[in-house]
Amino acid sequence: MAASIRDPKSPVERGMDAVVSAEHRDPFGFLGMHEEEGGLAVRCMLPTAAAVSVVDAATGETVASLPRQRPEGLFAGRVERPARFPYRLVVEQGDGRVAEIEDPYRFPSTFGELDLHLFGEGTHLHVYRRLGAHMAMVEGVAGVAFAVWAPNARRVSVIGDFNGWDGRVHPMRLHPGVGVWEIFLPGLKPGSLYKYEILAGDGNLLPAKADPFGFAAEIPPKTASVVYDLQAFAWTDGAWMERRQAAVARDAPVSIYEVHLGSWRRVPEEENRPLTYRELADQLGAYVRDMGFTHVELLPIHEHPFSGSWGYQPIGLYAPTSRFGSPDDFRWFVSRLHEQGIGVIIDWVAGHFPTDAHGLFRFDGTHLYEHADPRQGLHKDWNTAIFNYGRNEVVNYLYSNALFWLDEYHVDGLRVDAVASMLYLDYSRQPGEWIPNRYGGNENLEAIEFLRRMNQLVYGEHPGAVTVAEESTAWPMVSRPVHLGGLGFGYKWNMGWMHDTLRYMSKDSIHRRYHHDDLTFGLLYAFHENFVLPLSHDEVVHGKRSIFGRMPGDRWQRFANLRAYYAFMFAQPGKKLLFMGAEFAQESEWNAEGSLEWHLLADPMHLGVQQCLRDLNRLYRDLPALHQQDCDAHGFSWIDCNDRDNSVISWLRRGADPEDVVVVVANFTPVVREGYRLGVPARGWYRELLNTDSTYYGGSDLGLGGGAPAEPVPWHGHPFSLSLRLPPLAALYLQPERR
């Protein structure tokens, strides 16, 4: 038999070797103060120290010097005391500087058993209060408690500017049941930069990882997380928070201004920099209020490494991007908009994440947040990773994140991006590139359950908030309650309406009679969901041209077409969303690296579109008939949807009061229609509320001269009718005067 080979080193020596090589499996069981045969021993890893001694924290008495045991900076020695006691370390650096510090390895765990249990079962709704980096007080000592989920790692260390980015200095304590690693670093202050250094289970050292729960981050392209105290901000939006639920109700006027903060307005005098959160709070807030929008919707403000993704490939789901300021600066932005009566909705990306080395992808060396099988875990369109909605800890991460923005930033809603890509296992995949569900279908059952639960949590925890789905298919009951079988969203973007009507408007007027159904088809399903009518950022990029750029005809006709289209939109059932710049007929496609073309407002025609949009918002807000039954079939009826030969379309909008009626008629040709007869439900004078052909908007000022009387001539199934002069490429709003 071969002789066995014994390691001549003692367990303590082997432990020292493991510490200096950053491979110790239980650093808290070895570093710090421990009872051993013959008394107490203290060990610490301080690579930059020249000498270390131990002092009694209560008396300040030096009780031991710790000899250097390894040249890499491991100090250890005996302490002549009969029992453990509170202590500190006095550290002398090579340059003679001396500091008295707390030893992180003398402090107990900061992560409770209940926290671990709830996180493991996916029900720790506010787990962001425990994972991540948090200012804490432990045994009377202030510092930062770090915790991160990495169940398959061999070792995890906090590295940062406070320890020379050296993973040997602060290896963390493992809670093996769930795989959470944690450590309390005494004396650490807000503003400290940090990451996690992770030794994978296979022994490979991974690229340093940003904190999945980090509350702040460095300005890209730098990638470190930043310790931030979220407890210090004083909110001033109490009045708004009490009434905000009514602002997003189905019977409320909801008009949303979609904004990319980095390109709304820039400062050319300062190297064309974007505005800060605080500058936007004043400038954007004042503009939105003046224009009459009720809400802003922000393209994702989560921290993201690539500006060209516009935020839709986030790395830091818990951190507002540092490009425009600090987390408290963003809170200031939200609070100031609320004070001005403006709601704040953010785009929320829970469908995928980028594969940047410092992010979530293969976080602990395994497919932790994403599916391992690329047929489920990789998004082909965007080369991104797809969350594993079947894993408790992953959905807990996302549930907690949804609540985080409502809890800590007072946002009023989440518009969930790319819902269709979450719902379908075969989304953008060919046969053989996807795995069916357990019933053989293409529905992602785990994602469906995730979305339903997310909506239940949002509305349960924050009844005043709203969720909106960007869902581009005919998936049923997206905006119906979960208990009725729906997904539970408050609203759904009406992508079909957007595509149909933009296609119609892009046609030359002489051809529109052949595409009339594009205007009317949406009403066949308009009340199947609670719809938002969006003209979003996706429609003004990638060669699609701006909304104004799609309008046909000569210059005058293009502006007239756009005004008529907006009036058509604002009188259709559904809440409204318009991407920035469209309100004044931006001519170029949106450029995320520049500013909107504000100089165009010096042109009366562009100014006229802006004035028209402002008045449309005012009428939409002020007239219950235009918003009260946006999501109810009782609020809409056609007068004539079949006049394709004249390209004229007309309908009624009604409020909850049966006598609250608005008549809408739109002429989508440049031909003036004299004596155009339109059926109406009641006698009396019909006052002209809006004429998009007004000279105030840049039109030719053809119209009704203030209104028209209803005549007892039955028409269009109504007992009365109006004889109208329809202006060219224009829409009219009329309202009967109350008797």
Dump strand ranges (E) for 471-605: 491-493, 531-535, 575-579
Measure Cα distances from 231 to 143, 190, 204, 399, 405 in Å: 14, 12, 38, 21, 14
Three-state secondary structure call for residue 123: coil
How is 671-701 classified by DSSP, letter by letter?
Answer: S-EEEEEEEESS-EEEEEEEETT-GGGTS--
Residue the block writes with tokens 């701006």: 546
Structure tokens at 515: 């595409």
Active site residues: 417, 470
Give 110's DSSP letter. Answer: -
Measure Cα distances from 23 to 149, 197, 199, 595 in Å: 18, 12, 8, 51
Residues 508 and 558: beta-carbon distance below 8 Å: no
How is 89-108 classified by DSSP, letter by letter?
Answer: EEEEETTS-EEEE--GGGS-
Give 192's DSSP letter. Answer: -
Residue among 319, 454, 466 nearest 389 (CA): 454
Q: How many CB atoms lie under 10 A from the CB of residue 260?
A: 22
Residues 515 and 478: beta-carbon distance below 8 Å: no
Query: What totals of helices (H) and strands (E) does the chain contain, helices first?
Result: 14, 37
Give 413's DSSP letter. Answer: E
Q: How many CB atoms lie under 10 A from the CB of residue 70?
A: 16
Measure Cα distances from 77 to 49, 59, 65 in Å: 15, 20, 7
Cα gap 458→71, rounded to integer Å: 54
Give the orientation angle of helix 238-247 with respect to helix 327-339, to 10 degrees: 70
Residues 317 and 212: beta-carbon distance below 8 Å: yes
